[in-house]
Amino acid sequence: MLSPGLLYLVALVAITAFAVVMLKRSGYLAAAAKGAFGSFTALLALCFVYGLFNRFSFWHGASPPGIESGIGYAIILGVSAGPIVFVVGGLVSAAISRFRKLKKRNARDE
């Protein structure tokens, strides 16, 4: 039986591969990549800022509020929530790009 972690990893790889193929065929891969990297960078920055003002503790490690705590939060959330944010951010930015292109096309046709 597959462990939940391995199942999560396999599902994430399959969704990402499917999304890349579909976005490349439709021509929105560049917009999706910009959105994915932008959302992941925003996640890391927000986690770092949160850690500057809050104490970090995880299993056997702890640090007071400051740079070490900010780096700790950025690493933990970047690893655990980062892939999901990356995929969702890319798909949302591709959808926004598509709707903008459709709106521009409809305005030009009228």
pLDDT given at position 106: 87
pLDDT given at position 50: 92
User: How confident is the model over 82-101, as a mean pLDDT?
Assistant: 90
Residues, the chain: 110
Q: pLDDT digits over 14-57, tens only?
A: 988 888 898 889 888 899 999 999 999 999 999 999 999 998 88
Q: pLDDT digits over 55-70, tens only?
A: 888 877 788 888 989 8
pLDDT classification of 89: cutoffs 50, 70, 90 = very high
pLDDT given at position 1: 67
CA 86: distance to chain centroid?
2
The pTM (predicted TM-score) of the whole model is 0.79
The most distant pair of C-alpha atoms in the chain lies apart, rounded to whole Å, by: 64
User: What letter represents residue 98's amino acid?
Assistant: R
First-to-last C-alpha distance (Å) of the chain? 57
